[in-house]
């Protein structure tokens, strides 16, 4: 079973009323939440570890998890409010304004963490949860406690604007990246993580040298590449799609990669540390396929297995 660790929030998506005025509609979201939803819809056993409010938005998130076949055993519930992210679409790309002070997701502490069961074989970390404190330190502690015997995938989804101290943010990310088996980054993320290296391949190899066995880099319409443990590179083209918006695209890609590796019996630490080209190519292609469906419809709405 895959345990996704990170934020669940409400995306306030812009729309127009019948009178032509702009309004916002609440949609369940959050990078890690979206990845968990996509995994559930793809038929993989998955749970979400997050701080969740008991308010009306928290209830909406919990119901959405249930309908997408995501388990609720690791939810840390409280009376604090739900994080809200107001979305502005510019040429199909999402820009966000977050309202996150004192929220259920942000304020979880190490003392709140549950003990994962033996059935948890893989951990996934990512999103703004790795930048916002105190939850960022809580997730880092959870990885340190529970990651040694489990497969660990990370998508740092760099958000320096959320970090009160960039030096501390970088140091925490570096500690977590060193414990990961597989890391997915965008080309922009990679340039931020490895500013002392020029060129995508050199940056990817520098990131791999920090600890992860496999480094995946997404490049939008140019597709994705994977750097294998032996240093070889696998590339896949992007799937053609009529883009409505890019909300949740990377999150769905992550789910597709993990889902295919899990189906192949390779989402475990020893297998990722010795991963070869053919299964990684399959996983990248599947990730691109499911992400293409997500970008072809509004909001983060990952496909079900029956749609593929």
Q: Beta-carbon neighbour count of residue 56 at 10 Å?
A: 10
Residue 293 sits in a domain whose CATH number is 3.40.1190.20
The DSSP 8-state label assigned to residue 306 in this structure reads: G
CB neighbours of residue 140 within 10 Å: 20
Give the span between the Cα atoms of 76 and 52, in whole angstroms: 6
pLDDT tens profile 101-127 = 999 999 999 999 999 999 999 999 999
The model carries a pTM of 0.94
Q: How confident is the model at residue 20 (pLDDT cuts 50, 70, 90)?
A: confident
The H or E element spanning position 201 is helix 200-209
Q: In whole angstroms, what is the distance from residue 148 CA to residue 171 CA?
A: 19
Structure tokens at 124: 């996934």
C-alpha separations of 268 from 148, 154, 179, 271 in Å: 11, 14, 14, 6
| Euclidean distance between CA atoms 228 and 204, whole angstroms | 11
Residue 127, classed as helix, strand or coil, is helix
Domain count, the chain: 1
Per-residue pLDDT tens over the stretch 197-242? 999 999 999 999 999 999 999 988 888 999 999 999 999 998 887 7
Task: Kindly list the distances between the CA atom of residue 45 and the CA atoms of 1, 68, 76, in Å, as whole numbers in the listed order.
Answer: 5, 11, 19
pLDDT of residue 92: 60
The DSSP H or E segment spanning 280 is helix 277-295
């Amino acid at each position: 079973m895959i345990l996704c660790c990170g934020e669940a929030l409400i995306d306030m998506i812009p729309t127009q009323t019948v009178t032509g005025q702009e309004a916002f509609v609440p949609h369940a979201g959050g990078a890690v939440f979206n990845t968990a939803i996509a995994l559930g819809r793809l038929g993989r056993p998955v749970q979400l570890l997050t701080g969740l409010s008991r308010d009306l938005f928290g209830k909406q998130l919990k119901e959405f998890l249930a309908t997408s076949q995501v388990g609720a055993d690791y939810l840390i519930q409280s009376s604090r409010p739900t994080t809200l992210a107001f979305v502005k679409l510019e040429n199909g790309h999402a820009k966000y304004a977050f309202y996150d002070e004192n929220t259920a997701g942000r304020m979880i502490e190490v003392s709140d963490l549950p003990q994962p069961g033996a059935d948890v074989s893989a951990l996934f970390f990512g999103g703004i949860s790795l930048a916002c404190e105190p939850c960022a330190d809580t997730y880092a502690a959870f990885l340190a406690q529970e990651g040694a015997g489990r497969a660990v995938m990370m998508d740092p989804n760099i958000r320096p604007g959320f970090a009160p101290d960039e030096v501390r943010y970088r140091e925490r990310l570096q500690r977590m990246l060193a414990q990961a088996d597989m890391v997915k980054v965008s080309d922009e993320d990679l340039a931020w993580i490895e500013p002392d290296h020029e060129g995508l391949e050199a940056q990817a190899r520098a990131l791999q040298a920090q600890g992860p066995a496999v480094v995946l880099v997404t490049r939008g319409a140019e597709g994705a590449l994977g750097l294998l443990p032996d240093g070889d590179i696998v590339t896949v083209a992007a799937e053609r799609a009529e883009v409505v918006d890019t909300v949740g695209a990377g999150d769905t890609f992550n789910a597709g990669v993990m889902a295919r590796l899990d189906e192949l019996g390779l989402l475990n630490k020893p297998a990722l540390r010795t991963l070869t080209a053919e299964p990684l190519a399959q996983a990248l292609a599947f990730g691109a396929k499911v992400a293409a469906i997500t970008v072809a419809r509004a909001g983060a709405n990952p496909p079900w297995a029956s749609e593929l």
